[in-house]
Amino acid sequence: MNLLAMLAAVAVQTAVTNGVGARWFEDRMPARDGVKLYTFGAVPEAGVKCPIVIQRNPYVKEERIDGVPFASRQQQTLKRGYAYVIQHVRGAGVSEGRRVPYEHEREDGLALLEYVRRLPWYNGEIYLSGGSYLSSVHWSYLDTNPPDVKGAALAIQDVNRYNICYRNGFKKWHLHGSWFMKEYAKNDHSVTRNPRVKFADFPLADFTRRLFGHPVEAYDNTLCHPRPDDPFWTSDAPGSGAGYRHALNRSTMPVLLKTAFYDIYTEGICDMWREIPSARRANCALLIDAYDHGGKLAPAMKGTLGEFPGGSRADENVGDLDWFDAIRAGTACAGAPANRTRYYALWENAWHEEPALTDGSRRVAFTLGEGVRAYTYDPKRSLPDFPGSGALGFGSMQVQPEPNFRDDVVSFVLPPLTERIDVRGRMTARLTVASDCEDTCFCIVVSVKKPDGRWYLLREDITSIGFQHAAYTPGEKVALDFRCADHAFRLEKGDQLRVDVASGNNDFAPHGNVKGEQALVREPKVAHNRVFAAESSLTLFALEK
């Protein structure tokens, strides 16, 4: 059956609950290769034409949508003049096909646009909505710049696949690891998973074979390309994500970007904003709030942020429909000004607007102390667990353990601050280190002690000697540079900063202390590492006094 015949068979269903009528349809839209994708819509009264908001979702149950409650929940969307269409992505929910994250999203998304254009309610306007992977499905085809896609509200999703997979050569095993493995072939019950397989097992390159019993090309391809300048990341190879990279630059519709200072994609989304030409920013906006990737306020943050909404991102005053309404009316969107970055500074408890979030002009540097701190790093031992994540993984801001909480973690507690500091941008650190191995890694975790006596996570970063110094001689003293994700927060007089240094972090795959591609290391070594405190520092970028 061709697409037009399928559309002719779409039937609208109606129900009345407490005097309110709900209208919806459900269908199995044929993708371009014939795979049927489950598609559901809440629609207006017969004869009404209106803009249509579309969303494509992998995080759905293997069951049809219950039409009455779903359509009833969309009453406000309909009252504001929009129809709403949602589709289960390939291999998820009750859509056919095998789910391989990021594959097929471009052609399936374009097929959905074609489908929506033939719906009887279509008025020539389509709007895109989504967060995280639900944004990524739209980024996959945005470079085609469909003329009837009049606007998009795309939250918490970076378009740089390297950032999604790696940090300075370290595989993000919670992000493009456990998430990918959960999503891959999720509805194909013939695919089994070996529960004994762990990301910490060596070699990492064999991971999918150990887990599934067969290789997964889209994942395996990423494992041996740990450097951002590797040609793989601009190639057409499965897993590279090259088609997503410049989607924002190559489109023209107004786009609202949303992220949070404890989102997993904070830095990448800020980089997206900095990279697009000023002319492209003219009809776009960036909103950065204080939530985490899931749109929640971490328990450690509740009660510390003044007037900031305390529940979820749903409390924010800029919703997708607000952005779409402003586009349709040709007016400014309150709370998301075009060509501006609006962000919430933690502990200052205030919103700010700038063309872009940039590093503060005042450098405030701290030496880590005196002497030499030594520790042993064993890659086969469980990695240190620093609760939460400083914008590189899941978990948001969390309270940290007391200093030196493990024998393979060294903590540098700085003296109480003597002034108020309003920090802006990407703090940096430099560690002077040495190791008895030909390569090893170091991570930093920066936290702040507030008057309540608890240590609050600020930021983290990780790198290796080999990533920055290709020809390292064991025992040699070298400097390693770190640059953390964007942030905005206030430090008060009396606050204390702390820098934890380790050679492992539970957000990343372990380093084998062997020179070469880490995914290929089969026999890791134990490293004895040293940090030279007087030659190591933390630098904040602050607003002028």
Question: What's the rounded Cα separation, in Å, for the pair 184 and 99?
Answer: 6
- Contact present, 221 and 238 (Cβ < 8 Å): yes
278-337 pLDDT per residue, tens: 999 999 999 999 888 887 776 666 666 665 555 444 445 578 999 999 999 999 998 899
Q: What is the pLDDT of residue 19?
A: 64
Question: What's the rounded Cα separation, in Å, for the pair 428 and 24?
Answer: 52
- Contact present, 129 and 320 (Cβ < 8 Å): yes
37-61 pLDDT per residue, tens: 999 999 998 889 999 999 999 999 9
Question: What's the rounded Cα separation, in Å, for the pair 178 and 395?
Answer: 14
Burial of 365 (C-beta count, 10 Å sphere; 0-12/13-18/19+): exposed
Q: What is the mean pLDDT of the chain?
A: 92
Question: What's the rounded Cα separation, in Å, for the pair 205 and 171?
Answer: 11
Local confidence band at 517 (pLDDT 50, 70, 90 cut-offs): very high
For 98, 241, 513, the CA distances from 101, given in Å and listed in that order, are: 10, 11, 31
Q: What is the pLDDT of residue 5?
A: 46
Residues 6 or more apart whose CB falls under 8 angstroms from that of 106 comprise 140, 141, 243
- Contact present, 28 and 39 (Cβ < 8 Å): yes
Q: Which position has the higher pLDDT, 30 or 15?
A: 30
What region does 395 belong to: left with phi over 0, alpha with psi -120 to 50, or beta? Answer: left
The encoded tokens of residue 524 equal: 């890791």
Q: What is the pLDDT of residue 215?
A: 94
57-97 pLDDT per residue, tens: 999 999 998 888 888 888 889 999 999 999 999 999 999 99
Adjacent-strand bridge partners of 285: 256, 340
The encoded tokens of residue 377 equal: 């790093």
Local confidence band at 18 (pLDDT 50, 70, 90 cut-offs): low
For 10, 154, 160, 487, the CA distances from 242, given in Å and listed in that order, are: 36, 19, 8, 27
For 101, 103, 245, 269, 476, the CA distances from 238, given in Å and listed in that order, are: 10, 8, 14, 23, 39
Question: What's the rounded Cα separation, in Å, for the pair 308 and 456?
Answer: 17
- Residues across the chain: 545
For 70, 73, 317, 327, 466, the CA distances from 51, given in Å and listed in that order, are: 19, 18, 22, 12, 53
Question: What's the rounded Cα separation, in Å, for the pair 90 and 99?
Answer: 6
Q: What is the percent of the chain where pLDDT is above 70?
A: 94
Q: What is the pLDDT of residue 303?
A: 65
First to last CA, the chain: 69
DSSP letters spanning 304-364: TSTTS--SBGGGSS--HHHHHHHHHHT-PPTTS-TTEEEEEEBTTTEEEEESS----SEEE
Residue 357 pLDDT > 50, yes or no? Answer: yes
Residue 184 pLDDT > 60, yes or no? Answer: yes
Q: Which position has the higher pLDDT, 76 or 169?
A: 169
- Contact present, 223 and 211 (Cβ < 8 Å): no
Read off φ and ψ for residue 216, nearest 5 degrees: -120, 105
Q: What is the pLDDT of residue 175?
A: 82
Q: Is the peptide bond before 238 cis (omega within 30 degrees of 0)?
A: no
Local confidence band at 432 (pLDDT 50, 70, 90 cut-offs): very high
110-121 pLDDT per residue, tens: 999 999 999 999
Dihedral of the alpha carbons of 297, 299, 300, 303, in degrees to the nearest 10: 80
201-242 pLDDT per residue, tens: 999 999 999 999 999 999 999 998 999 999 999 999 999 999
Q: Is the dihedral of CA 253, 52, 292, 265 positive or negative?
A: negative
Q: What is the pLDDT of residue 318?
A: 72
pTM for this structure?
Answer: 0.93
386-431 pLDDT per residue, tens: 998 899 988 888 999 999 999 999 999 999 999 999 999 999 999 9
